[in-house]
Amino acid sequence: MIGRRTLAAALSALVLVLSVALAEAADKKVIRLWQTETEPQTLAVLNQMAAEYEKTHPDVSVKIEGLAWGDLERKLTAALAAGAPPDAAHGQPITCVSFAAKGLLRPVDDLADSIPKDNLVDAFRNLCQWNGKTYGVGHSPASSVFVYRKDLLAQKGLKVPRTWDELVQVAEALKEVRDGQVVRWGLTMTGQPLFINIAVGELLRTNGGRLFDAEGRPTLTEKPVLELLDFYKKLGRVLPPGWTGHSYLDTFANLANDKAAMLYQAYGRGVGYIEKYAAKDIADPDHFAVADKVVGPSGRTPAAQLDCEPWMVFKDAKGGPEAVDFLKFFFQDENYVPYLHSVPIHLLSIKKSTSRNPRYADNAMIRKWRPWVDMQEKYFRNDWIKPVLVTDWEDMKKPYLLEVMGSGILVDMVLDSVKGVPSAEAAARAQKRVEELLASSGYLKK
């Protein structure tokens, strides 16, 4: 049996150890960062970066948490409602503007100024500005891309589609039926609400359309929107019947596993899935090729979604200055390059100097999938990319796009249309709901 003295000694030792640990912890300032790159290798790089930072900053402890992209806004909202936001977090550009307008963020001009303006890729200089101040600096930009199976198109003598109508025709022609069963669909798209919001903004821009007028009033009953809804009806006939339930990753799986021949909303991350799941002899950009996004009947230029979450620092965060200091450390090439290499074709550099850095270019995946990187850079150069729901950069001055996205009204509009509601009726219904939302939130006069 354990004697009283032994027990007392053990308890004393435990108390002592706990006291020392607590005292040490109390001395350290903990900074919490929420970010959306959840792949294990990226988290490993970030944790390694945090450990390196802590070596030179023994009074700071950096805690990095990975959050699923689709959960980010909800979790941030819940944390803000509870009065316990992290010190810094990724956010959609429209989330950043919305939070900045509500006074929830600390300006990060000090972080932005640490990267010379002429060193930032031009398209991302003003990613999150409010009242002349910078509230967000993108961690790395990417663009959505249109991917098609080059070999399958060639086999059927088809040309790469350039317009909405051609996309539908090619998708129909690529559909493969065996024993009465569809074994390969011509096209795959996700039905995830966030991505439907993204697609609505993106497709509308390819059709010369907009979501809001200069006064901020929704413009959902305009011709380009109605044409967009008609296009969705046509897409509904060539997409897999369950597309409205398909997640973003399901569509990558469809493409990589030969269940679909084209993917409209692909991202550089997709090459990881192709490398992993597609047959080895076709897992290359000669088979999985990228092309310009298709253009609508009333549009002239392609358009894509800018996938570039800015780092935001919360105003009430206790570790705001330390978070900014850590983020400056993050953007140093010796840390930034391994981060970008953790998802090579998806995480591109926001700094021109890093893109030119031989260390950055020295990556087998980047060399192999260069056409995918070039296509994204082409979109950046031509300013064809915009954040979700932004059809014109002026829209970034509208602080309510986050609420419009969260309400799911645009998703409902698309689904109404796909289910057979006449486009004009679906658009009018959505128009009324957005007006009601903006009026009740004080953004629009009734």
Partner 1 sequence: MRRRLPGAVLGVLWILPALVLITSLILYPVAYAIWLSFFDKHSFFPAERWVGLGNYARIAGDAEFWDSLWKGVVYAGASTGLQLVLGLAAALVLHQAFRGRTAIRALVLFPYMIPTIVAVIVWRWLLNETYGVVDDVLLRLRLVREPVVWLGVDHMMASLIAVSVWQFTPFVVVSLLARLQTIPLELGEAARVDGASAWARFRHVTLPQLRAVLFVVVLLRSIWMFTKFDTVWLWGEGAGAGREIRTLPIYAYMRTFTYYQAGFGAALAVIMFLMLMAATLVYFRLFWGEEDAA
Nearer to partner 1, 17 or 84 (CB): 84
What length is written for the chain?
Answer: 446
CB 21, min distance to partner 1, A: 32
CB 437, min distance to partner 1, A: 7
Fill in the amino acid letter for 353. S
Distance of alpha carbon 349 from alpha carbon 352, whole angstroms:
7
Residue 384's SS3 state is: coil
* Residue 422 burial by Cβ neighbours in a 10 Å radius (0-12, 13-18, 19+): middle
Question: Which residues does residue 136 pair with via DSSP β-bridges, in sequence order?
Answer: 128
CB 377, min distance to partner 1, A: 30
Nearer to partner 1, 48 or 247 (CB): 247
CB 256, min distance to partner 1, A: 12
Binding region for partner 1 (CB under 8 A)? 70, 73-74, 77-78, 80-81, 102, 104, 180-182, 191-193, 196, 240-247, 250, 254, 259, 403, 406-408, 411-412, 414-415, 418-419, 433, 437, 440-441
E strands present in 316-445? 385-386
CB 45, min distance to partner 1, A: 27
Nearer to partner 1, 192 or 423 (CB): 192
CB 182, min distance to partner 1, A: 8
Nearer to partner 1, 57 or 259 (CB): 259
**Element containing residue 47 per DSSP (H, E):** helix 40-56
Distance of alpha carbon 201 from alpha carbon 29, whole angstroms:
41
CB 228, min distance to partner 1, A: 15
Nearer to partner 1, 61 or 144 (CB): 144
Nearer to partner 1, 219 or 244 (CB): 244
Distance of alpha carbon 116 from alpha carbon 112, whole angstroms:
8
CB 247, min distance to partner 1, A: 5
CB 197, min distance to partner 1, A: 10
Where do we find the tokens 């000694």? 9
Nearer to partner 1, 70 or 338 (CB): 70
Nearer to partner 1, 193 or 218 (CB): 193
Distance of alpha carbon 23 from alpha carbon 215, whole angstroms:
56
Q: What angle is formed at CA 254 by the lines to CA 35 and CA 171, rounded to 5 degrees?
A: 120
Can you say how many angstroms the Cα of residue 51 is from the centroid of all Cα atoms in its chain?
Answer: 27
Largest CA distance in the chain: 88
Listing from the earlier edge strand, what are the strands of the sheet with 145-149? 262-266, 145-149, 288-291
**Element containing residue 95 per DSSP (H, E):** helix 93-101
Kindly report the number of other CB atoms within 10 A of residue 440's CB atom. 10
Distance of alpha carbon 195 from alpha carbon 329, whole angstroms:
32
- Residue 117 corresponds to which tokens in the numbers above? 């303006």
Nearer to partner 1, 243 or 360 (CB): 243
